[in-house]
Amino acid sequence: MLSDIAFYGAVETGLIYGLVAFGIYISFRVLDFPDLTVDGSFPLGAAVAAVLIIDGVDPWLATGAAILAGMAAGAVTAILNVKLKILNLLASILTMIALYSINLRIMGRPNVALLTEETVLTPWYDLGLAYHQVPVVLFVIVITISLVLLWRFMKSETGLAMRATGANARMARAQGIATGAMIILGVALSNGLVGLAGALFAQSQGAADVTMGVGVIVIGLASLIGGEAVITPSSVLRALIACVVGAIIYRLAIAFALNADMLGLQAQDLNLITAVLVTLAIVLPGVRNTVVSKFTRSKA
Amino acid sequence: MITATDLRLTFGKGTPLENPALRGMSLTVNQGEFVTVIGSNGAGKSTFLNALAGEVLVDSGQIIVDNLDVTKLSTHKRAGRVARVFQDPLAGTCEGLTIEENLALAIKRGQRRGLSAAVKKQYMEQFRDSLSSLNLGLEKRLGDKMGLLSGGQRQAVSLLMASLTPSAILLLDEHTAALDPKTAAFVLELTTKIIDEQKLTALMVTHSMKQALEVGDRTVMLHQGQVVFDIEGRDREGLEVKDLLGLFEKQRGLEVDDDSLLLG
């Protein structure tokens, strides 16, 4: 059904979107802050990394710069909301729109090719792995480190304060937590992860493109919600694992849908499939509960 | 000690809904005093508490808590001095976090929060000890989500959280009003026990005149954003609800027509 290369390709992209799902978990779930900045911070991370790599900067340094750029973008959204009292959703849309221009400015043109440049992946090709397996290996390492760090952070004093901010802001303030600062830190962290995802995506795909951010938020949400449907997010660790699993399942589902000839789907149908999958992921758990409750009502 | 001087606050200034909530409210609460606050709806009880906590900032006047002028400080900057239990049992705790995580949040109230693990081994003994004093068996459920607890249990934990670290004043905002009578009695008993044992300075707003006279050592009545009377010591002993009503009418020359004050 699915060729080896298509399979590894799907897992590779899934791992990158796992990072996006981490970011969306922080904004949507931890902070209850619907943040659409990611559609801008994903290509921002890609643009910053690509331009710096072309300028001869070390690819890991360039990737670090992409994280910082993403964090700055997130901080702008949060400051618009916290300090200027702009509705969170609107604040994020404003930043997202502004980033479109900024990304064009950074790249100086709509896209930058990286095919001949040295990227974070280059040294790994010498290790003797199959060409299409290299990115998967590297990204598994990156996402595992990110997951552990994020998990530890959420369990720390500051992380706990951030979770309280999203869950019960009034209580958090009464405990002496500067909720505004927590929102700024959290949304920055979220977009830093998305910037990292953008930088890795550009390097594995061999190009940064100003339109590559379109729909990232939906894909990230699809991964998050899909993952939660598979793994109940009863703890932070489970929720983070759910993000990765959801992202990989999502990419595999897309790959299967596009590969199944009998469905007659083509690459341009991607966004339609995404929308259908997200809808199913949102609706199905509810349907399952209704069905279950229909059969268990007598017990209750 | 807290001193509130001539607090004034008007909601919706310049609109048809203009509502002067505090009109020259002054009150001094001494170290170790347990003051109960009563008043009809709209008397300014909640607004006064919110002003002390920093949830609303007053238009004019001054609030001093332990020699620090906190009038312009936001809630989180005052939290080290001001502890609080809300009326809504769901408001004082985070239901998505475990019991130990909630307590770990409270133990750092008003202090810097770093990157070390929030739930530390060294806290556990204190958490278990204070939870076991509730006799609810919660000391064995430290890892349970707060959302699994009943309203009364959550309010009891909120009280513990407010008293886990020292504060200049403990604010109790009708914290038994949303509970059933039996649970309310339990939480009230727990309140007096904690306040006595730790010699806390406390301000308790209540809707029930009976409750206001039964606990604490001083009672203050608010009306139209001001203190209308303030009794303590011998004057307060043996006072009953009907005496309080008489006092109120004498002071204001008003009929009390708020049923909720008479009931309960």
pLDDT at A296: 60
Q: How far is CA A69 from CA A46, A185, A192, A196, in A?
A: 10, 14, 7, 9
The DSSP element (H or E) to which B259 belongs, if any, is: helix B259-262
Specify the residue for token string 């699915």.
Answer: A2
DSSP-derived 3-state class of residue A248: helix
Which distant-in-sequence residues (6+ apart) come within 8 Å of B84 by Cβ?
Answer: A174, B49, B53, B92, B162, B170, B171, B172, B173
Mean pLDDT across chain A:
91
The nearest alpha carbon in chain B to A236 belongs to B97
Confidence check: pLDDT of B127 > 70? yes
Whole-model pTM: value is 0.90
Q: What is the mean pLDDT of residues B241-253?
A: 76
Which distant-in-sequence residues (6+ apart) come within 8 Å of A300 by Cβ?
Answer: A293
Residues β-bridged to residue B25:
B7
**Is position A284 within any domain?**
no
Question: Which residues on chain B are in Cβ contact (under 8 Å) with A176?
Answer: 76-77, 79-80, 108-111
pLDDT at A279: 82
DSSP-derived 3-state class of residue B26: strand
The nearest alpha carbon in chain A to B88 belongs to A171
What count of Cα atoms within 13 Å lies in the side-chain half-sphere of residue B101?
26
Residue B114 burial (10 A CB sphere; 0-12, 13-18, 19+): exposed
**Domain B2-96+151-159+166-262 - what CATH class?**
alpha beta
Torsion angle of the four alpha carbons B89, B95, B97, B101, in this order, in degrees rounded to the nearest 10: 10
Structural domain range at position A172: 4-213
pLDDT in tens, A238-279: 999 999 999 999 999 888 887 877 677 777 887 788 788 778
**Is position A124 within any domain?**
yes
Number of domains in chain A: 1
Distance CA B242, CA A221 (A): 61
**Is position A156 within any domain?**
yes
**Is position A253 within any domain?**
no
pLDDT range class, residue A300, cuts 50, 70, 90: very low
C-beta atoms of B118 and A175 within 8 A: no
**Is position A264 within any domain?**
no
Q: How far is CA A149 from CA A106, A240, B199, B242, in A?
A: 30, 11, 42, 63
Taking Cα atoms as reference points, which of B165, B156, B158, B145 lies closest to residue B188? B156
Torsion angle of the four alpha carbons B54, B60, B61, B63, in this order, in degrees rounded to the nearest 10: 10
pLDDT at B264: 45
Taking Cα atoms as reference points, which of A87, A44, A61, A86 lies closest to residue A191? A44
C-beta atoms of A171 and B91 within 8 A: yes
Q: E strands along B92-232, which residues? A: 169-173, 202-205, 218-223, 226-232
pLDDT range class, residue A223, cuts 50, 70, 90: very high
Q: Does the complex come out with an ipTM higher than 0.90?
A: no
Distance CA B42, CA B21 (A): 7
Distance CA A108, CA A288 (A): 50
Q: Are B17 and B42 in contact (CB under 8 A)?
A: no
Mean pLDDT is highest, among A113-127, A162-176, A256-270, for: A162-176
pLDDT at B249: 76
pLDDT range class, residue A142, cuts 50, 70, 90: very high
Task: List alpha helices for chain A, DSSP H.
Answer: 4-24, 38-54, 59-82, 88-107, 134-155, 157-167, 169-174, 179-205, 216-230, 236-259, 270-296
Q: What is the DSSP letter of A289?
A: H
Residue in A175, A177, A179, A237 to test binding to B, most B beta-carbons within 10 Å: A175
Confidence check: pLDDT of B61 > 50? yes
Q: How far is CA A45 from CA A20, A25, A76, A251, in A?
A: 12, 19, 15, 21
**Is position A230 within any domain?**
no
Question: Which of A86-95, A189-198, B176-185, B240-249 shows the lowest per-residue confidence on average (mean pLDDT)?
Answer: B240-249
The DSSP element (H or E) to which B61 belongs, if any, is: strand B60-65
Confidence check: pLDDT of A1 > 80? no
Distance CA A134, CA A139 (A): 9
Question: Which residues on chain B are in Cβ contact (under 8 Å) with A170?
Answer: 55, 86, 91
> What one-letter code names the amino acid at B141?
R
Residues β-bridged to residue A113:
A207
The DSSP element (H or E) to which B197 belongs, if any, is: helix B181-198
**Is position A254 within any domain?**
no
**Is position A48 within any domain?**
yes
Residues in A whose CB is inside 8 Å of some CB of B read 152-153, 155-161, 163-164, 167-168, 170-179
